[in-house]
Amino acid sequence: MKISKVLNNNAALVLDEHQHELVAMGCGLGFQKRPGDALDPALVEKLFALQNHELMSRLSEVLSGIPAEVMAVCTDILNLAKKQLGRLPEEVYLALLDHCHFALERHRQGIALHNALQWEMRRLYPKEFAIGLQALALIEQRLGLTLPEDEAGFIAWHLANAQMNSEAPEMQAITQLMQQVLRIVTYQQGHELDQQTLSYHRFIAHLKFFAQRVLSQQSLPAGDTSLHAAVKASYPQAWRSAESIGGFIWEQYRKELELDEMMFLAIHISRL
C-alpha cells in the first residue's frame, strides 16, 4: 500500500493494490511521511473503506489533532461493541472518535452537555447503553477522566444508529415513535411493562424496525391471511392495542398498517 495523503501522525489515506482509497490508522504511521511513500503494514492498527462521501470529505477535520491514546481507546470501544452487538459498519468508528474527542475536550473545559434522550436510550437500547457505560469506564481507566453518564447515552445513540444505518435526525424520529407506541401499550395494559423480560426486549427489537418501516412508508411482504383472524381471535386485547397503534400511525404519519403489521404487533404485545 502507498500513502496518498497524510491526515496526521496517526492516520493517512492509502491506495491498495486495486487503487482503492482506504483509511489507515495506527500510532505514528503518518509521521514524516509524504504522498507516494510505502506504508509499513506493521504500523496499521485499523484499516477501512469509507462509503460515506460526506465523512470522507471531512476526514481531515475529524482526525486532525486527535491524540493517539484517544484513537486507541475508541478502537477498543468499537471492538467491545462488535463482540456484543455483532457486525457494525466501520463508519461508526469515526463517529465515536469524533464524539469522544470533543466529549473529552468539553470535560476538560468544564462544559457539561445534557442528553435529552438519556432515559429513552437507557430504556429502548439497553445493550447499547450498557456498552456506553463500559466505554466510560474504559476511558476513565485508560485516560484518567471521568465523563458524566449522559455520554453513555450519546455513545449508545451512535451504536444504535449504526446498526440501523440511519442518520441522526431519522434516529431521533425512530426513538420518539417507539416511545409513543410504548405509551399506548402501557396505557392499555394498565401498568408499567416489565423491562427485564425477554418478551419486552423482543418487542423493543421489533419496534425498531417497525418504526423504520413506518417512517420510510415501507410495507411488510404479504403473508398468510388465514393467520390474521386466528391471532385476532386468540389475543383480542392485544389486537385492540395493535388497532390503537394503527389509528395513531394513521393520524400522525398517514400510513395505514397492513394486517401483517397488526398481527406481529398483537403477537408481541400478547407476550408482554
Q: Supply the DSSP string of 170-236, one letter for each residue.
A: HHHHHHHHHHHHHHHHHHHHTS---TTSHHHHHHHHHHHHHHHHHHTT--PPP--HHHHHHHHHH-H
Q: Are residues 93 and 168 in contact, defined by beta-carbon separation less than 8 angstroms?
A: no
Asked which of 121, 145, 163 is the last residue of a domain, the reply is 163
| In a shared domain, residues 76 and 144 | yes
Residue at 60 is within a domain: no
Q: Based on the domain organization, do 204 and 154 belong to the same domain?
A: no
User: Is 61 a member of any domain?
Assistant: no
**Based on the domain organization, do 137 and 232 belong to the same domain?**
no
CATH number for 217: 1.10.1790.10
Domain span at 9: 2-54
Tell me what pLDDT residue 212 has. 85
Closest by Cα among 142, 59, 67, 56 to 105: 67
Of 163, 188, 209, the one marking the end of a domain is 163
Residues 38 and 121 placed together within one structural domain of the fold? no
- What is the model's pLDDT at position 90? 72
Q: Which residue has the cell 420518539?
A: 176
pTM for the model stands at 0.64
**In this structure, are 241 and 195 located in the same domain?**
yes
Q: Which residues contact 98 (CB under 8 A, 6 or more apart)?
A: 62
For residues 262 and 214, state if they share a domain. yes
Q: Are residues 39 and 91 in the same domain?
A: no
- Determine, yes or no, domain membership for 219: yes
User: How many structural domains is the chain composed of?
Assistant: 3
CA angle (33, 39, 40) in 5-degree steps: 115
76, part of any domain = yes
Please choose, from the candidates 179, 177, 190, the residue with its C-alpha nearest in 3D space to the C-alpha of residue 251. Answer: 177
pLDDT for the residue numbered 50: 62
Final residue before a domain boundary, out of 163, 193, 210: 163
Distance CA 255, CA 109 (A): 47
Q: Are residues 265 and 185 in the same domain?
A: yes
Does residue 59 sit within a domain?
A: no
According to DSSP, residue 18 is labeled: T
Q: What is the CATH number of the domain that holds 25?
A: 2.30.24.10
For residue 197, is it within any domain? yes
96 in the same domain as 36: no
Task: Give a yes or no: residue 202 inside a domain.
Answer: yes
Same-domain status, 95 and 156: yes
Same domain, 92 and 37: no
- pLDDT in the model for residue 197: 84
Pair (175, 245) in one structural domain = yes
> What pLDDT, on the 0 to 100 scale, is given for residue 178?
93
The answer to whether position 62 is within a domain reads no
- pLDDT tens, position by position, for the chain (272 residues)? 888 888 778 788 888 877 777 888 777 888 888 888 888 888 887 777 665 555 555 566 667 678 878 888 998 999 999 999 988 887 788 888 888 988 998 898 888 788 877 877 887 788 999 999 999 999 999 999 999 999 999 999 889 888 876 556 677 888 899 999 999 999 988 888 888 887 888 888 789 889 988 998 887 766 667 788 888 999 999 999 999 999 999 999 999 999 989 998 999 999 88
